[in-house]
C-alpha cells in the first residue's frame, strides 16, 4: 500500500511557491518529472519549468494572476525539464491563503496528449478525405442501416442526410437493383466485406448511373458491432465502354463467321457452276478480291454506313486502269451511305457487272461507254430513302458476245438483292449493251436513336 | 441409312437473311430430295409462311436476321411441335436460356453435319 501510494505520489510533481514564484517545496515527484533536485530549486523561481516561448509570452505571470483571482488555474501545456526535453504537463495551480503563495500539482500526460492529437489529426484527415474525394462516402451498420452520409452523397442524389439515414438511402438506388443491394448486405455479414455494382440516381442529370459500392468494418475482428465505412464510385463510363466493347466483339464474331459462310457458299456455288478447276479458280479469286475490297470500307460498328461512291469507284478501279474518261466511263452520284450488311452483297453484284463489262462489254470494246449514276430520294412513307442506281452500257454490239456464263451475276442482281435487301432490280441485255437499274431502300443517316 | 432416305420429300423451311448462304443450303437440301419452301429473310415473312403452310417437317433458323432476332419464329415452331435447328454466328451464351439446349450449327455451317442433324430430327421416312 505504502509503495503504491509512494508510486502514486511519485507520479505527481507537487510544488509550493511564494507569491513571487520562488520555490518553497519541491517533492520527489517534481524531482523525477522535472529533473531539478529539491535543493537546487529552493528559493529559485519555478518559471524555469515553462518553455522559453511561454516565458517570453508572460504565461507564468498570467497563470499566477488567474490563480489569485479565481483561486485556481489550469495548467495544460508543454513544459521543459532541466535537460531541455519537453513534456506535456497537465496540472493545476491553486492559491494558498492570502499572502502565502501557491501550490502547483502536475503530472506528465505526454502520451495521452500525443494520442489525443493523433486521433484529432486522423479524424481531420478522414473528414477531409471523406468530404473531398470524388467518391460518395458513407458509414453504416452491418445490416445496411446508414449512420452517416457524406456531402457527396447528398449532392449527387439530392437526398438530404436525414432522408438517407437508416434505409432511406435505398430510395436513391434504381428499383431494379434495390433487392440485390439489400441482399449484398446480408452477404457482407458473411464475407466481411460489402460489394455491389448498382445504379444510383444522379439528381443533376436525372438519370441512374452505375456505381461500384464497397464497405468494410472499421473493426474486422467484430464486424457485427463495428461501424462500416464505404464508398460508391461512379463506374458508368467504364461500364458503358465495356458494354460497347462486348457489342463490338459480338459484331466482329458475327461478321467473321458470316463472311466465312459467304466465302463457303460462293466456293460451293462456283464448284457447282463450273466444269474445270482453272475456270472455278478464276471466278472464285475474282469474287474473293471483291469481297476483301469491300471489307476495307466496312465501318467498325454495324451501326455505321458505307459510302456508295467509294464502293462503286473502288470496284471499278480494280478492273479499269487510269482515270475516268468522259467518252468511255462516267460515274455521277451524290454522297450516300448504305448499311454494312448491304455493302457486301452489292459489291459482289457490282463485281459481276464490272467483270462482265471488262470481258465482253463496254470496258472491252473500243466504242463502248459505261455510265453509272445514282440518286437518293426520300421514300413516300418517310421510313428512309431510296437509292436508285443505274448501270448503262452503250456502244456494245449485242448479241455477238453473249456472256458464256452470266448466271451468277444475274442471280445476284435479280434474286439476291431483292431477297436480302428488299431491292427492286431490272436487268436487260439490250442491243446496245447491258442495262441495269437497282432501287435499294436505305435507312436515313443514322442518328443516335435506338 | 443416308440423309436422302429421311429428307426426301420432307418440307423444309429456311429462315436466313443472307441470300448466298440460303441458296447454298437450299441447293444442298434439294440434292437430298427435300422440298425447300419459299425461303424467308425476316421474322415477319417466316411467321407468315408458318401460318400459311399446311405442313412443315423441319426448319433451319439463322439467329440474326439483319439485326433482328429469330426467336419469335422459334416460339411459333415450338408451339406447332415442328423441329428446327439454329445456325449462328454467335457463341452459345448469346442464345436465351430457353433455346440454349436446342440443336445448333455454328457458321460457317458444315453441310454434312447440318444434313445429319436435320435427318435425325425428322426421323426415318414414314413407310
Taking an 8 Å cut-off on Cβ atoms, the answer to whether A265 and B64 are in contact is: no
Q: Assign A116 to helix, strand or coil.
A: helix
pLDDT grade for A449, boundaries at 50, 70 and 90: very low
Residue A142 has a pLDDT of 93
On whether the CB atoms of residues A93 and A13 are closer than 8 A, the answer is: no
Residue A113 has a pLDDT of 92
Question: In the predicted model, is pLDDT for residue A386 greater than 80?
Answer: yes
Global pTM reads 0.65
Q: Are strands A12-17 and A194-202 parallel, antiparallel or unpaired?
A: unpaired
Nearest by Cα to B22 from A196, A315, A386, A261: A261
Written as nine digits, the cell of A43 is: 528559493
The string of pLDDT tens digits covering residues B52-99 is 999 999 999 998 888 889 999 999 999 999 999 999 877 655 678 888
CA distances from B122 to A79, A274, B55, B85 (A): 100, 33, 13, 11
Nearest by Cα to A345 from A400, A446, A425: A425
Chain B residue whose CA is closest to A268: B24
Written as nine digits, the cell of A192 is: 466481411
Taking an 8 Å cut-off on Cβ atoms, the answer to whether B21 and A265 are in contact is: yes
Nearest by Cα to A97 from A22, A14, A19: A19
In angstroms, rounded to a whole number, what is the distance separating the alpha carbons of residues A296 and A313?
Answer: 13
Average pLDDT over residues A264-293: 91
Point out the residue among A254, A260, A269 whose CB comes nearest to the CB of B24: A269
The string of pLDDT tens digits covering residues A36-91 is 999 999 999 999 999 999 999 999 999 999 999 998 998 899 999 999 999 999 98
Chain A residue whose CA is closest to B94: A250
On whether the CB atoms of residues B115 and B28 are closer than 8 A, the answer is: yes
Chain A residue whose CA is closest to B25: A265
CA distance B28 to chain A (A): 10
Question: In the predicted model, is pLDDT for residue A182 greater than 60?
Answer: yes
Bridge partners, A74 (sequence order)? A92
Residue A450 has a pLDDT of 31
Residue B101 has a pLDDT of 83
Point out the residue among A261, A268, A419 whose CB comes nearest to the CB of B41: A419
Average pLDDT over residues A346-364: 89
On whether the CB atoms of residues A173 and A213 are closer than 8 A, the answer is: no
On whether the CB atoms of residues A290 and A315 are closer than 8 A, the answer is: yes
Taking an 8 Å cut-off on Cβ atoms, the answer to whether A261 and B21 are in contact is: yes
Residue A13 has a pLDDT of 92
Select from A294, A413, A420, A421 the residue whose CB has the most chain B CBs within 10 Å, as the one to mutate to test that interface.
A420
Taking an 8 Å cut-off on Cβ atoms, the answer to whether B20 and A257 are in contact is: no
Average pLDDT over residues A182-196: 94
Cβ-based contacts under 8 A for chains A and B? 74
Instruction: Give burial (CB, 10 Å; 0-12/13-18/19+) of B124.
Output: exposed
**Contacts (Cβ under 8 Å, ≥6 apart) of B73:** B15, B43, B46, B47, B50, B59, B61
pLDDT grade for A30, boundaries at 50, 70 and 90: very high
Residue A448 has a pLDDT of 31
Q: Tell me which chain A residues have a C-beta less than 8 angstroms from the C-beta of B15.
A: none
pLDDT grade for A383, boundaries at 50, 70 and 90: confident
Residue A132 has a pLDDT of 81
Written as nine digits, the cell of A396 is: 456494245
Average pLDDT over residues A337-351: 91
Written as nine digits, the cell of B70 is: 429469330
Residue B107 has a pLDDT of 85
Amino acid at each position: 500500500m505504502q509503495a503504491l501510494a509512494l508510486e502514486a505520489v511519485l507520479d505527481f510533481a507537487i510544488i509550493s511557491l511564494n507569491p513571487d514564484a520562488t520555490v518553497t517545496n519541491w517533492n520527489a515527484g517534481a524531482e523525477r518529472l522535472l529533473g531539478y533536485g529539491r535543493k537546487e530549486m529552493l528559493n529559485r523561481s519555478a518559471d524555469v519549468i515553462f518553455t522559453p516561448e511561454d516565458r517570453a509570452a508572460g504565461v507564468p505571470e498570467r497563470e499566477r494572476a488567474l490563480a489569485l483571482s479565481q483561486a485556481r488555474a489550469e495548467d495544460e501545456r508543454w513544459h521543459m525539464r532541466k535537460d531541455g526535453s519537453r513534456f506535456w504537463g497537465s496540472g493545476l495551480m491553486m492559491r494558498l491563503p492570502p499572502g502565502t503563495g501557491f501550490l502547483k500539482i502536475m503530472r506528465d500526460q505526454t502520451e495521452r496528449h500525443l494520442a489525443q492529437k493523433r486521433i484529432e489529426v486522423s479524424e481531420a484527415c478522414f473528414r477531409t478525405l471523406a468530404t473531398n474525394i470524388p467518391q460518395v462516402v458513407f458509414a453504416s451498420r452491418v445490416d445496411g442501416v446508414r449512420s452517416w452520409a457524406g456531402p457527396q452523397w447528398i449532392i449527387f442524389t439530392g437526398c438530404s442526410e436525414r432522408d438517407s439515414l437508416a434505409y432511406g438511402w435505398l430510395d436513391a438506388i434504381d428499383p431494379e437493383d434495390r433487392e440485390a443491394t439489400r441482399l449484398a448486405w446480408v452477404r457482407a455479414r458473411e464475407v466481411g466485406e460489402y460489394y455491389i455494382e448498382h445504379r444510383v440516381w444522379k439528381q443533376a442529370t436525372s438519370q441512374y448511373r452505375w456505381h461500384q459500392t464497397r464497405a468494410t468494418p472499421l473493426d474486422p475482428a467484430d464486424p457485427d458491432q463495428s461501424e462500416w465505412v464505404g464508398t460508391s464510385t461512379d463506374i458508368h463510363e467504364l461500364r458503358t465502354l465495356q458494354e460497347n466493347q462486348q457489342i463490338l466483339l459480338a459484331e466482329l464474331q458475327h461478321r467473321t463467321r458470316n463472311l466465312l459462310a459467304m466465302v463457303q457458299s460462293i466456293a460451293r456455288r462456283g464448284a457447282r457452276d463450273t466444269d474445270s478447276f482453272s475456270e472455278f479458280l478464276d471466278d472464285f479469286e475474282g469474287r474473293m478480291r471483291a469481297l476483301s475490297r469491300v471489307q476495307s470500307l466496312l465501318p467498325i460498328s454495324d451501326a455505321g454506313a458505307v459510302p456508295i461512291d467509294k464502293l462503286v469507284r473502288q470496284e471499278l478501279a480494280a478492273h479499269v486502269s487510269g482515270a475516268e474518261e468522259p467518252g468511255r466511263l462516267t460515274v455521277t452520284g451524290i454522297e450516300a451511305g448504305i448499311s454494312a450488311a448491304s455493302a457486301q452483297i452489292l459489291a459482289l453484284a457490282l463485281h459481276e457487272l464490272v467483270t462482265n463489262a471488262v470481258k465482253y462489254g463496254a470496258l472491252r470494246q473500243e466504242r463502248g461507254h459505261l455510265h453509272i449514276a445514282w440518286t437518293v430520294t426520300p421514300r413516300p412513307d418517310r421510313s428512309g430513302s431510296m437509292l436508285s442506281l443505274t448501270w448503262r452500257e452503250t456502244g456494245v454490239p449485242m448479241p455477238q458476245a453473249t456472256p458464256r456464263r452470266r448466271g451468277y451475276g444475274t442471280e445476284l442482281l435479280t434474286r439476291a438483292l431483292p431477297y436480302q435487301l428488299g431491292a427492286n432490280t431490272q436487268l436487260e441485255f439490250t442491243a446496245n449493251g447491258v442495262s441495269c437499274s437497282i432501287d435499294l431502300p436505305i435507312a436515313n443517316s443514322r442518328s443516335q436513336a435506338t | 441409312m443416308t440423309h436422302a432416305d429421311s429428307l426426301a420429300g420432307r418440307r423444309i423451311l429456311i429462315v436466313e437473311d443472307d441470300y448466298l448462304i440460303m441458296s447454298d443450303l437450299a441447293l444442298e437440301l434439294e440434292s437430298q430430295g427435300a422440298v425447300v419452301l419459299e425461303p424467308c429473310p425476316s421474322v415477319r415473312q417466316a411467321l407468315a409462311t408458318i401460318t400459311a403452310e399446311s405442313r412443315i417437317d423441319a426448319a433451319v433458323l439463322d439467329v440474326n436476321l439483319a439485326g433482328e432476332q429469330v426467336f419469335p419464329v422459334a416460339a411459333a415452331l415450338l408451339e406447332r411441335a415442328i423441329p428446327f435447328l439454329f445456325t449462328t454466328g454467335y457463341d452459345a451464351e448469346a442464345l436465351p436460356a430457353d433455346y440454349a439446349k436446342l440443336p445448333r450449327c455454328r457458321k460457317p455451317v458444315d453441310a454434312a453435319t447440318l444434313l445429319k442433324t436435320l435427318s435425325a430430327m425428322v426421323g426415318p421416312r414414314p413407310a
